[in-house]
Structure 1
Amino acid sequence: MRIVIAEDAAVLRDGLVQLLTDRGYEVPAAVPDADGLLAAVDEHRPDAVVVDIRMPPTHTDEGLRAAIELRRAHPAIGVLVFSQYVETRYASRLLAENAAGVGYLLKERVVDVRDFVDALKRVAAGGTALDPEVVGQLLAASRRAEAGLETLSPREREVLGLMAEGRSNAAIAKQLSVSDRAVEKHVGGIFTKLDLPPSDEDHRRVMAVLKYLRG
């Protein structure tokens, strides 16, 4: 089995390489960032990748966003997210699109190397490996999203439904016979109630529609 590793901490990255090669796995590339991961996958076409979430340049969620991109480009490659953190927003997207061949383990909760290796083998074979803590936080996030939908007013639900149809604010205003300003106010209320703060990384309109469709 061929494994590509993406981990910015050099000691841990080298440790993972040693751990896997000692057990007979091939590690054709071990890289420190998300761009390196995508390039290594394109070059080596591994059976699976191990990826951390927080990597350069911003050390926020580059790894998880790269995993989503990787799954879209190479759906047959298993992805094992191995991190200290649970990032529910992107994790839910990673699992919702296709949970087969996806794993998410928390570093501090892996107490036996065999558990890590077994999870990696399962993911590479198209299975799923999720830490119970990750599952719990994803469920809690889902419940919060459902609660947010319940707080929407009838008009906000109507506006969100039209957003889900791909309508622009101007088209929604025309459909509902209200002003553009009124629609903007309703959209702002939707973002607030669904806990979607401004972000350079996410399109809040798309995120709101995804929550609406799941609800």
Structure 2
Amino acid sequence: MRIVIAEDAVLLRVGIVRLLEAEGYEVVAAVGDAEALLAAVEEHRPALALTDVRMPPGFRDEGLQAALKIRERFPEVAVLVLSQYVEERYAVRLLSGRTRALGYLLKDRVADVDEFLDAVRRVAEGGTVLDPEVVSQLLVRQQGDPLERITARERDVLVLMAQGRSNAGIAAALVVSESAVAKHINGIFSKLDIPPADYDHRRVLAVLKFLNG
């Protein structure tokens, strides 16, 4: 799998490149700013673009803006965004459109090699991955919302759904049966008024509807 990386911190950029190459991925470009990221994606058409949020020259949201442009111009390219801190508005902006093959993680996750590589794989395969800390903060912000009808256990399930976990993965994390997970998910669909449709699509809609309120 061909990957393009954009990260202005040289040591972190080199570290991610080595980590991915050791896993067998081909890093075709590793750049330090958003403009170079867009040029590299256009030239190489990678399977995945991995980018920081805050990039030169302004260190505001240049990387996020580049990610949004990649989603628009190159819909076949999966995008994984890394952020130093939980920035809710950026997560919401990124997730406000098509969510297939999309991820938003805190940089701290890179230190957990297995978790980071699993996120890369799942996003490249078309999944949606959200950092659990981002989800947790968004859930706290939603207290007092009409969506309070979601139970505490259903919130737990939603957090794991947002991380891209399968029913089996959710069951293992919560130490419950898969049938119990399926029951919770159906309850979530019902409470959020999500009509019958493609199952994976309904899962994404449930997460987005809950986080966006």
Separation in structure 1 between the aligned mates of residue 128 and residue 46 of structure 2, nearest angstrom: 17
Separation in structure 2 between the aligned mates of residue 34 and residue 76 of structure 1, nearest angstrom: 19
Separation in structure 2 between the aligned mates of residue 3 and residue 110 of structure 1, nearest angstrom: 16
Work out whether residues 123 and 129 of structure 1, in 8 Å CA contact, stay in contact via their aligned partners in 2. Answer: yes
Corresponding residue of 1:44: 44
Unaligned runs of 5+ in 1: 148-213
Work out whether residues 100 and 128 of structure 2, in 8 Å CA contact, stay in contact via their aligned partners in 1. Answer: yes
Corresponding residue of 2:150: none
Query: Aligned pair in 2 of structure 1 residues 110, 8: CA closer, same or farther (>3 Å)?
Result: closer
Aligned length: 148
Separation in structure 1 between the aligned mates of residue 100 and residue 134 of structure 2, nearest angstrom: 16
Separation in structure 1 between the aligned mates of residue 53 and residue 47 of structure 2, nearest angstrom: 20
Query: Aligned pair in 2 of structure 1 residues 138, 64: CA closer, same or farther (>3 Å)?
Result: farther
Unaligned runs of 5+ in 2: 147-211
Matched, 1:93 2:93: yes
Residue identity (%): 60
Corresponding residue of 2:6: 6
Separation in structure 1 between the aligned mates of residue 115 and residue 109 of structure 2, nearest angstrom: 10
Work out whether residues 109 and 115 of structure 2, in 8 Å CA contact, stay in contact via their aligned partners in 1. Answer: no
Matched, 1:65 2:65: yes
Once the 2 structures are TM-superposed, how far is the Cα of residue 140 of structure 1 from its aligned partner?
Answer: 4.8
**What does the per-residue CA deviation read over 1:180-202, in whole Å, with 9 as the maximum and x for residues that have no partner?**
xxxxxxxxxxxxxxxxxxxxxxx
Q: Which amino acid aligns with 2:93?
A: R
Q: Which amino acid aligns with 2:77?
A: I
CA RMSD of aligned residues (A): 2.1
Secondary structure of the corresponding residue to residue 136 of structure 2: helix
Work out whether residues 65 and 90 of structure 1, in 8 Å CA contact, stay in contact via their aligned partners in 2. Answer: no
Which stretch of structure 1 is more off in the superposition, 102-111 or 18-27? Answer: 102-111
Secondary structure of the corresponding residue to residue 60 of structure 1: coil
Query: Aligned pair in 2 of structure 1 residues 140, 71: CA closer, same or farther (>3 Å)?
Result: farther
Corresponding residue of 1:121: 121
Which stretch of structure 1 is more off in the superposition, 1-10 or 111-120? Answer: 111-120
Query: Aligned pair in 2 of structure 1 residues 140, 63: CA closer, same or farther (>3 Å)?
Result: farther
Separation in structure 2 between the aligned mates of residue 110 and residue 20 of structure 1, nearest angstrom: 11
Once the 2 structures are TM-superposed, how far is the Cα of residue 2 of structure 1 from its aligned partner?
Answer: 0.5
**What does the per-residue CA deviation read over 1:1-37, in whole Å, with 9 as the maximum and x for residues that have no partner?**
0110000001111111111111111011000001011
TM-score (norm 2): 0.64
Correspondence list, 1:1-215, <5 A: 1-140=1-140, 143=142
Separation in structure 1 between the aligned mates of residue 61 and residue 86 of structure 2, nearest angstrom: 10
Once the 2 structures are TM-superposed, how far is the Cα of residue 135 of structure 1 from its aligned partner?
Answer: 1.4
Once the 2 structures are TM-superposed, how far is the Cα of residue 90 of structure 1 from its aligned partner?
Answer: 2.8
Separation in structure 2 between the aligned mates of residue 109 and residue 12 of structure 1, nearest angstrom: 12
* Structure with bigger gyration radius: 1
Separation in structure 1 between the aligned mates of residue 89 and residue 35 of structure 2, nearest angstrom: 21
Corresponding residue of 2:203: none
Q: Which amino acid aligns with 1:15?
A: G
Q: Which amino acid aligns with 2:28?
A: P
**What does the per-residue CA deviation read over 1:108-158, in whole Å, with 9 as the maximum and x for residues that have no partner?**
2444211111100110111011111111233455x49x79xxxxxxxxxxx
